[in-house]
Amino acid sequence: MKHVTTHGLSRRNALKTAGLATVAALGGGPHVRSARAETPSGTPLKFGLGLVTYNVAKDWDLPTILKVCKASGVAAVELRTTHKHGVEPTLSAAERKDVKKRFEDSGIVCWGAGSTCEFHAADASVVKQNIETCKQFVDLVHDIGGKGVKVRPNGLRKDVPAEKTLEQIGKALIECGKAAEAQGVEIWMEVHGNPTQQPAHCKTIMEQCGHKSVGLTWNSNGPDVKDGSVKESFEMLWPWIKSCHINDLYKDGAGIYPYRELFSLFRAKGYDRYTLIEVGKTPADPAAGEEFLKYYKALWTELASR
């Protein structure tokens, strides 16, 4: 891990900051129940830090994920499909009960499942299959005590106007939303894909959907940033934001991503859910992964609380 100075916080100072700023205080909604960082005014943050198993934990089984998260102060987990944890719709009823109990016993929040369901295909049967797969994930998340299912757009077709594909995605999400509502969970469409990650495209999809159980996962993408700020994109999508993915806190692929501003916007809105770590290459060894997550938590604490 390289030495980080972008935000004036070295690795050693970051770890020191975490120890000083993390407090055993409860705050936020019913799925936010772990230790919180404090703002300078002494007010606990309402939102917490979680982990997407893509990529830090993709090669860890579920007990390892929960153990490392607890040790590193990470409060919630989104279980991305196809990873070693094996939490998939194919699990039996007994296996689902075991997953739910493991989360409950660990004190780590089961935030949900990260599916790869997408709805832009030209073939209606492919779209229908993705909807049915999403419904299977909805059932799974309900059974394991999770909050939502992540889906995604993944591009636009070249043979039709963009508006037609955006409408198609939105209408497909209505069907997913109905299934989610019936099970008491949510659908989170990740701001994802080229060019569907453009905030204006995601806004159009949400307007075409209009289902109360369907929202967005903010994904901390380069196109969010205009003149160094994410405020315009954030305000555009805020009405639908139900979850958030964050990546390298010190550097985005296209330059510096304004995480301090993003977190301040979340604080101002009273966001009481999670910002979940989703980074690229990371240590595969659980011990090294734990060290990385402790460091990440410290840097997140410094950025999110000021």
Domain residue extents for the chain:
11-304
Residue 8 vs residue 222, higher pLDDT: 222
What confidence tens digit (pLDDT) does each residue in 66-97 have? 999 999 999 999 999 999 999 999 999 999 99
Confidence at 280, pLDDT banded by 50, 70, 90: confident
- CA–CA dist 85, 81 (Å, integer): 9
Let me know: does 50 contact 111? Beta carbons within 8 Å.
yes
Locate all alpha helices (DSSP H) within 5-123, ordered by sequence: 11-21, 62-72, 93-106
Distance (Å, rounded) from C-alpha 270 to C-alpha 210?
Answer: 22
Q: What is the pLDDT of residue 284?
A: 79
Q: Is the CATH number 3.20.20.150 carried by domain 11-304?
A: yes
CA distance 277 to 249: 9
Q: Chain centroid to CA 95: how far?
A: 24
Total residue count of the chain as it appears in this document: 306
Judged against a pLDDT cut of 70, whether residue 23 lies above it is answered with no
**Token duo for residue 107:** 């004190």
Q: What's the mean pLDDT in 281-297?
A: 91
* Per-residue confidence band for 2, with pLDDT thresholds at 50, 70 and 90: very low
Check: CB of residue 300 under 8 Å from CB of residue 249.
yes
pLDDT tens, 174-231?
Answer: 999 999 999 999 999 999 999 999 999 999 999 999 999 999 999 999 999 999 999 9
pLDDT of residue 29: 45
Confidence of residue 28 (pLDDT cuts 50, 70, 90): very low
pLDDT tens digits along 108-147: 999 999 999 999 999 999 999 999 999 999 999 999 999 9
pLDDT at 37: 72
The string of pLDDT tens digits covering residues 219-278 is: 999 999 999 999 999 999 999 999 999 999 865 444 579 999 999 999 999 999 999 999
pLDDT over 70 (residue 6) = no
Question: CB 84: neighbour CB atoms within 10 A?
Answer: 14
> Model confidence over 55-69: pLDDT tens digits?
999 999 999 999 999
Q: What is the pLDDT of residue 10?
A: 43
